[in-house]
Amino acid sequence: MKKLLMISFLLAAAGAFPVYAQIDLSQIGADRPAAGQNSVVFKNRAEEVPEPPSVMQREEIAEPQPAPAPKPVPVKLFGNGVKIVALVNGEIISTDDLQNRINAFVMNTQIPLNEQTKDLIIHRTLQAAIDEKLKIQDAEKNGITITEKDIDNSVRFFEKTNKIPHGQLKNILKEAGVSEDVFREQMKSDLAWVRLVRKKTLAEGELTQKELEEAQAAAVKDLNTPKYMVSEILIKKNNAKNLNDLVANLRQDPRFELYAMQFSEAPSAAGGGKLGWINKERLIAPLSSALGKMKPGDVSSPINVNGDYYILKLEKVFDPKKDTAEEPTIENIKKFLENRRMEELASRHLQNLRQAAVIELRN
């Protein structure tokens, strides 16, 4: 008999997975990286991230992340000349910038760059480079300054956390074909974004006791419903290429979470695609049908939903007739709601920045 600590909420965030998702409180912290963070230089592995402190207590330093793999092989996609790939509110992203980020992506994720993944990787790294510019620009507009000393401290923290001998990070980056300037720019973007999002979250005020009690009551009420723990990857129709090859990779590579972080276009991407516990009855028909044929550990074929494609992974099944669930405490609820508020604010604000920006893409 499984014993779970669980909280169930009805979530209806615009643009999210087209169901009412249920969140597994036991996964909070272990599965959630810093709000809105989408670094392709280094990413957190969920099992290596400790439970985060309260929003009010977060350290102003980039999240600890895993050490890069030794002696990665750099890739070269753009020849020897340097060209402009994009302009973001007048700031340039060059082929050199993009090449460095692609090398960083391959170094960190070990996802192979091939015909099946190349377009997704290029799209992902270009979007991340654009977002870096937007985050730093907006942080500066809001009076947030990241100094070289801040970045130095973050780099030292990174080395210590990942047991990299002092001074060796430069060599690791060089072997991977990643510019140290790109690495530091990513650190700067992450630091600036965490500070900006925290500042905006604090401005919204504390959660009220009524909000906490209502959320706890909703969680308790839903404990007797069968559920699936599901992760998703959403590929929108404009980028839906070689999806069967992507599924083949996912079925061979257990790192679904990593692929979701890097490739998914759903809001859940920041949390590795994890949706938590979902009531089957609230799924739309194509997804419900697919999950009904799966067993824990299975990865679905691409599922067409209004032209976009979902790839699902069934993590666990909760059967209230066999399994028990502990009621979440107020403290559990508070941590979850604070993290969710921060994530939603980060996602919403970044989307607003994208829509307001003048972004010119060049071939």
pLDDT average, residue stretch 243-249:
88
CB-CB neighbours of 348 under 10 Å: 15
User: Which helix (H) or strand (E) covers residue 124, if one does?
Assistant: helix 118-141
Structure confidence at residue 301 as a pLDDT band (50, 70, 90): very high
pLDDT digits (tens, 9 = 90+) for 263-288: 898 888 878 899 888 887 778 889 98
What's the helix, strand, coil split of the chain in %, to 5?
Answer: 45, 15, 40
Task: Specify the range with the lowest mean pLDDT, choosing from 50-54, 195-199, 204-208, 321-325.
Answer: 50-54
Question: Exposed, middle or buried: residue 239 (CB in 10 Å: 0-12, 13-18, 19+)?
Answer: middle
**Strand order across the beta sheet in which 91-94 lies:** 91-94, 84-88, 359-361
- pLDDT(54) > 50: no
pTM surpassing 0.85? no
pLDDT of residue 105: 85
Domain ranges of the chain: 3-50+207-343, 56-206
Quote the CA–CA distance of 162 and 264 in Å, as a whole number. 27
Quickly list DSSP for 32-83: --STT---SSS---GGGSPPP--GGG--SSPPP-PPPPSSPPP---S-SS--
Query: Going by CATH, does the domain composed of 3-50+207-343 fall within 3.20.20.70?
Result: no
Which two structure tokens, joined as six digits, stand for 325? 């669930």
Residue 111 has pLDDT above 90, yes or no: no
**What pLDDT is attached to residue 357?**
96
- In the predicted model, what is the mean pLDDT of the chain? 78
Q: What angle, rounded to 10 degrees, do the helices at 209-221 and 330-356 form?
A: 100
**Which residues touch 257 (CB under 8 Å, ≥6 apart)?**
31, 45, 46, 231, 272, 273, 274
Q: Helix, strand or coil for residue 354? A: helix
pLDDT value at position 180? Answer: 93
Alpha carbon distances (Å) from 147 to 143, 151, 273: 13, 7, 33
Structure confidence at residue 143 as a pLDDT band (50, 70, 90): very high
Q: Are 286 and 305 spatial neighbours (Cβ–Cβ below 8 Å)?
A: yes
Q: How far is 167 from 183, CA to CA, in rounded Å?
A: 14
DSSP state of 294: -
pLDDT in tens, 306-359: 999 999 999 998 888 888 777 788 888 898 888 888 888 998 999 999 999 999
φ, ψ of residue 236 in degrees (nearest 5): -75, 155
Burial class, 118, CB count within 10 angstroms (exposed 0-12 / middle 13-18 / buried 19+)? middle
Superfamily of domain 56-206: Porin chaperone SurA, peptide-binding domain (1.10.4030.10)
**Residue 94, phi then psi, degrees to nearest 5:** -100, 170
* pLDDT at position 293 over 70: yes
